[in-house]
A = this chain, B = another copy of it.
């Protein structure tokens, strides 16, 4: 048997290639949309991808199943469990609890494991020539290393009411079945550390049934009510784009074929596409009309100068996630990205279905030379902020854009907590009357937030360089005043 695991760090997403070397057949489980990795691995190991399996309708990335099927002719296998609302709407071979998938001498048994979603299934793998013992479980978003899948995404992100309690109870029952698996079975989930799909994801790629029973918090709880309460408590904010993913994954993602590098565009062309008039009232933050600009340069470069109204998401592993929070699925995207990063940015965007990328410009130098409108961000170092607050503690409304849990561990006295991704939809919660001092933990998320505020036309805004981390380092005194 051949086995390979693929980890995409941006979405902490995991997928698998399992093959039978005897027959040359192979299956891919939960493929991502940039499918070259599977094609290459199969080729290098003399395997043909003949089947593709999905554990569930994903919320955090656009499935690559249809893309991979188009490239290989493989059959798509997906759950028909979960009731009428949870049926895939594209051609596939339906799977139900107890079904068996054969890939040469490898067998995968289907186990219905609802909870995270109603239709969720897991696959229990047997390498038949080695003997009748179960070898691995592909658990999708059901059981992670050290955690279990959250059942509240539908309600939180997709706005489907009253599903999270029912999901939690379903999950309790599914976990009881999981306990029955042999202790030695390896557990390979659909996510690793960093995903928003669970609250305590470990950085170890796999585990075993026995180890999870011994250590995973979910198996230490003995009654259902406590479990339901614990499970639903303190889950991180699901990104807005999750709702979009649910709909698209059920409908079936469009097939891209070869993804071409977007063309290099000049400043005038970008301005046209984005409906930016050559006015000079750059700081007024007027909204762009047609294409939206995604600027992936560093937070420092964005602060130094940027195109008014552009969305800042500095290139980083978490680009997919923050692009999903901040970009508009209905508008084309123009990139500000250096040449050597364009391909990676495009991959990160198509992974979540942001496919319409009209072109890119490597910097804003040419834009400025053309006399097109430009904006900058007011900033303070932590030392400067400390000094200012020392002399006038009420100079700013402090907006802390970190997560609730980070905020709860300590924050600047008087700060208001609004998650960086949610800012655009929570404009009414932003206090007025003073300049806003925006910060996160280290400076990455605050620039995203600042660019959102600029688009909303709310200000003046001042960004804190280095975030709360730098603030704590800089101000031993004021740290004492932060609440806990």
Contacts and interface: CB of A to CB of B under 8 A. Distances in A.
B202 A184 contact: no
Given A1-B204, A203-B2, A304-B303, A465 B135 contact: no
Given A300-B297, A304-B304, A211 B381 contact: no
A338 to B, nearest CB: 8
Contacts of A21: 203
A298 B363 CA distance: 9
A299 interface: yes
Nearest to A205: B3
Nearest to A193: B2
A381 B375 contact: yes
How many copies of this chain does one complex carry? Answer: 4
A206 B213 CA distance: 20
Nearest to A261: B258
Contact of A301 (B211, B213, B297, B382): B297
Interface in A345-404: 363-365, 368-369, 371, 373-377, 379-384
A223 interface: no
Interface in A436-473: 442-443, 465-466, 469-470, 473
Contacts of A127: 204, 215
Interface in A319-351: 340
A43 interface: yes
Given A133-B211, A281-B383, A466 B203 contact: no
Interface residues of A, number: 73
Nearest to A364: B300
B215 A283 contact: no
A236 interface: no
A304 B383 CA distance: 15
Given A184-B208, A210-B183, A374-B470, A368 B465 contact: yes
A281 B2 CA distance: 36
Contact of A304 (B183, B207, B210, B298): B298
A101 interface: no
A277 interface: no
A474 interface: yes
Interface string A289-305: 00000000111111111
Contact of A442 (B302, B304, B365): B365
A283 B381 CA distance: 9
Contacts of A469: 368-369, 371
A182 interface: yes
A381 B371 contact: no
Contact of A381 (B365, B376, B381): B376
A183 B1 CA distance: 22
Contacts of A364: 300
A89 interface: no
Interface of A: 1-3, 5, 21, 43, 127, 130-131, 133, 135, 146, 182-186, 202-211, 213-215, 258, 260, 264, 280-283, 297-306, 340, 363-365, 368-369, 371, 373-377, 379-384, 442-443, 465-466, 469-470, 473-474
Shortest Cβ-Cβ A-B pairs, 5 listed: A184-B210, A300-B304, A371-B473, A303-B304, A133-B214
21 contacts: A21-B203, A127-B215, A133-B211, A186-B186, A208-B210, A210-B210, A297-B298, A298-B301, A298-B365, A300-B301, A300-B306, A303-B304, A304-B465, A305-B465, A365-B442, A368-B469, A371-B470, A371-B473, A373-B383, A374-B465, A376-B379
